[in-house]
Structure 1
């Protein structure tokens, strides 16, 4: 016996046994159910492509900015999990939002500062928030006598950051709120060419607005420690936080920057929007989980302006929280990605995407298949019962004469011959023999009636 015949033989025996019990049509019914289930699963699998992608594109900020350094940290963490990360530089938060809103640019996620939607006429429907990851404090460094109100910068030469940065957008909003004409280009400088600190020291500008999306951490630290340069204390921080919904009041305690030199000498209040991790709604749930894990590792510790465990946070601002992110905050990573390496979890998830739909279709189908099949068998028997009842009713009606009864006997012969041609599996023999018994019963009544009439 050839290996092929040896392999096929058990299936042939099973096929023959099922054929003997149910008939070949039942087997073909099961085969059709399996085929349809498999076809549906292939369509679902092809359409949704459940496998988690292994590449991720992040739009960050200018080279050297805090946004860019944060993206670099994410990259190190994610690539340990087998996810290849591409980082796209930008001009800052507003530019990040423009890039995310542009369907022609391939990008998955980016850092967007609260308030970036304020000057957008079109509200993006395809963007979701994975949560807030940090505060983004606004720092105003200036020369001269201490100032307590932003309105005191009126008529001063102010560097408010490049257009497209979160610094620029927030600076414009604050200056307008304090009655300063932001259209006066004589005093507002989008970005002073060259070294901003040197320009401030050399009296080329009077003040500089800086935030993490458009300035490096080194620049901020250098400005804080430079003699003759003061850091603006937002004494109206509470008022700003109440009037501008996306702002928060934060505080740098006395000596927090340098205990030995007691920098700063007093508590300093700042205002800060939060930075949100904004993703397109096409981001795979597994990548959403991995990004939030990276954010937790990078931002979860205590820092100058945050408490331990404060970020990432599912606080909803201008963007709706992603359902995948909401599930992560409630229960953590999904079971597979929590207990297996990323590549293995992705493979298992892909297999389940095929197995689960098959099970969902196949189990109910197999449960109802016998009932459907029995109904099919009954539909071949019961029409003859209707014909038999009508025949019996005509035969024993008052109007039935001898010639009509003879015609009815011929009709009964036709019914019996037709029934004998029906092929019924042994499992449904009760239906078949029951019908034949009833045909014999009607025939006996007809013959008995005929004999009565003859005598």
Structure 2
């Protein structure tokens, strides 16, 4: 019975492109893996800064709007567009930031308007200004809010931060809506006008209503006084978001020494509040703008007092903490904003490259070596089969068939493009082919 011998394998008769094919088959999967890792890092870890962001500011012609416009000019220097939208003030700004349907990234929010809301998704970039509560009243000698009970008090329009703060302070003094005290929904110039005309007994002014010009006009009217709060320190203990603010003698008008003595006020600070998805580079730009706009000395503050990281209703972002501690990074100090952004992202990529990509790249030589040697091993598989059959053959016809198979292997080997690094294995294989051929020739007389 004829013995079955597996035929010689079809050993790549066309080896013209075997070297680059091996290189492609080993390097392309690794390159795709590396590209995927890099893409995931860029997308998830360090996306590029947006070209435009939106800030919810305040009413038209308000201090909030003026600050936002100044910020817009500064951000534009770095190629970032700041879209400024009007609002009713801090309360609406906070509502917009908390509403995911509102495309608002940043807003000005005064302390004390959170009112139990969950603000875990928001962060503060720092406080940028005081927002004092100044109480003007008809008469003299008042120093406590409780002394306003039973009077007509302008406490700010509905939905405003001034109204919310006024209600909180009056409530702490036992004055609530529905009692003997009349609470008027008036603020600003309208409240001041009603106070002067006698239609209101007191006006609680805050924010844009506490300008130097308006306070000087009110103080110049006989019978109108400003309240210096004796319990200002107590308010800051009871309401952690409040600050004890002083108007020193002469700060409004040195020539007339107005006010004639120190006025003790209380008020919250205004914070730049952002969603926690704000890009770190944009955070740096906003704080840089706040430093330029809000860092100057003013009626209520010393130079460099703002912006700062005093915590109130919102947690300070890690990026803001880093900026206040060490300033802008070397890249952003030395390069244009967008070039620094690209360089910063490339540096961040070094970690995944070091941890995953570099080890993956080191597998390419091993995979390439395995492919080259596996081709040689296939030749050895066919050669061993011929050698085994050479020991078992019984006829000249079978020997000649083995010789033809060996010739086919050698012809295929002659077309093989072998990298120089593996030339030793190549020539060893040729020696072994010669060894098997010698065995076949040595057995030739036995088959005659």
TM range (shorter): 0.7 to 0.9
What is residue 377 of structure 1 aligned with on the other side?
A: 372
After superposition, where does 1:359-438 map in structure 2 within 5 Å? 360=353, 366-381=361-376, 421=412, 423=416, 425-427=418-420, 428-434=422-428
Among candidates 207, 211, 214, match of residue 202 of structure 2: 207
Q: CA deviation at 1:308?
A: 1.8
Size of the aligned set, in residue pairs, is 420
TM-score, L = length of structure 1: 0.75
Summarize deviations over 1:153-202 as a string: whole Å, max 9, x none: 22221111122222112111111222212344961122269732221022
Q: Secondary structure at the match of 2:245?
A: strand
- Is 2:224 the counterpart of 1:238? no
Please state whether the residue corresponding to 1:304 is helix, strand or coil: coil
Q: Identify the match of residue 292 of structure 2 among 290, 294, 297.
A: 297
CA distance in 2, matches of 1:243, 1:143: 27
> Which of 229, 245, 248 is the equivalent residue of 1:250?
245
Shift of 1:204: 0.8
Deviation, 1:112, is 0.4
TM-score, length of structure 2 as denominator length: 0.76
1:346 aligns with 2:338: yes
Contact 1:237 1:269 in 2 (8 A): yes
Q: Distance in 2 between matches of 1:192 and 1:212?
A: 10
Identify the residue that residue 116 of structure 1 maps to in structure 2: 113
Aligned 1:32-51 pairs, distance under 5 A: 32=28, 36=32, 40=36, 50=48
Corresponding residue of 1:311: 306
Q: Which runs of 5+ in 1 are unaligned?
A: 1-18, 451-455
Write the distance in 2 (CA, Å) between the matches of 1:75 and 1:185: 47
Residues 95-123 of structure 1 deviation map (CA, whole Å, 9 limit, x = unaligned): 21112223333333211001221253x43
- Decide whether aligned partners of structure 1 residues 215 and 137 sit closer, same or farther in structure 2, where only a CA change above 3 A counts: closer
- Report what 2:281 is aligned to: 286
Gap change, CA 1:368 and 1:330, over 3 Å in 2: farther
Change (3 A) 1:36 1:442: same
Asked whether the 8 Å contact 1:141–1:229 carries over to 2, the reply is yes
Unmatched 5+ stretches in structure 2: 1-14, 444-448
Deviations 1:333-373 (A, max 9, x none): 344543345xxx32564587589859948766554422331
Which segment drifts farther, 156-165 or 381-390? Answer: 381-390
Matched residue of 2:207: which SS?
coil
Give the whole-Å Cα distance in 2 for the aligned partners of 1:92 and 1:216. Answer: 17
1:195 to 166, 190, 212: 190
How far apart are the structure 2 equivalents of 1:244 and 1:130?
21
Decide whether aligned partners of structure 1 residues 301 and 182 sit closer, same or farther in structure 2, where only a CA change above 3 A counts.
same
CA contact (8 A) 2:26 2:367 kept: no
Match of 2:321 in 1: 326
Shift of 1:440: 7.3
